[in-house]
Structure 1
């Protein structure tokens, strides 16, 4: 009892239910940090990086539908069927609508638009399913029962800024997903680098769009619960983006190896080998010492042999 009273005092909450939401929010920050550290050493086993070491494969469309659906079903249940919620103000309705809108697309539309795609290993599928239940409850419970906003919140600069950022991120996410679906014609296989839209500026525009969405949502909600979700999403999606960026760098290097000189390491003056990006622990500028060898039949061009001297 004393420990619970201390937690309520420190967190500034008045009851155990609200204390639970605050604790879940801080725990989400912790989970995101731990996952970020793990993903510095282990690639997220999704898509091209899927592996049977992480469980038996689940059909990609089925996996996406099932794992994302709780983030839609839990808020809908709490809003329409729970008996202990307060009457929702317009601001609460709009914020819940922003959350639900994303997951209507992510669970009911996106899975059935996927073209091909590798099966999802069971362990990341199960983790995503559990997280969506966790986060769906956290966001919807807070907004439907505990969040109290001023009557003019929808004209507050924080709400307007957050909503604008959320809407822009959503449009970037949807457009980027469309570009990715159009990369390969029916029957084509292999990895291709997307072009167009925000892909002209970043390697993973779809992840960037979703990060902007949830940061906009967090600003509009102005709460610990939404901030924890935005922070968690940033740590996970930025790690996945770095993973895809390393793959894109490798593909470009292999494609242009014969005609494009490799970069020089600014730290030690040695030659940077993009193949090293495949390993998540070894990022720029931790390059490898290189030995120049001429390419047969192409005067003036060089290829580079890796050694293990530069770590």
Structure 2
């Protein structure tokens, strides 16, 4: 009993580290935007992170045999290429806190896409959560202010939808093939990163400025916010219930908003604050309702 309690406390501490690392990661991703194009940055970040994950697989002596490539590629495109590329692109013109909240609407899209692709009809509570989150989106985007901020908002919301699609596809992968979570993550990240490298090569962008802040941002994002945080997350999910882990991860956008306010001086407007509260309430309702069903895969790193 004491060993179990100790393990739970360690997992809770690891969860706090993961939330902090991912929340601060949004601030770091925003800080590098003056020095590097969005697709150049995510290509560099995930090339390094992928190499580190395969290194972890080697240390753990896991098989390097790839999971079924069709679904793995689909998840890599949606969760690595599209989500990461679009989120970083959104940060080029949008605030870190605002973009993180809009990107973290992925549970909405997971529920809706699971209804379409997996025929899992949303429950009444899930519909309530979706309604609250959509109302929050309207307040955050503030369409009555004109179209000036729509590009960043649209990119952020689309990135969340892409992650939601990847979540549904990941669920299908684990139902059908039950791959090793670490191997599946590494392979989908590798395939998605190859497409990020192609996008970085094809899309014109300013020359990279290798400043100290740029190097710090790259190392933090690749090593701490991706590789280390993902490894800790698998430890957390293994020792805490999926419900506790998933609902705790909602602390990431909240933390990102607070850190962006403190470090980047991004003060949310009254409408944005109302919207953030509504979105968080909606995601909380969706998370609690979804916990009554089969658990969905992990939130983004």
Give the TM-score, by structure 1 length. 0.31
Query: Rg: which structure is higher?
Result: 1
Question: What TM-score, normalized to structure 2?
Answer: 0.31
Report the structure, 1 or 2, having the larger strand content: 1
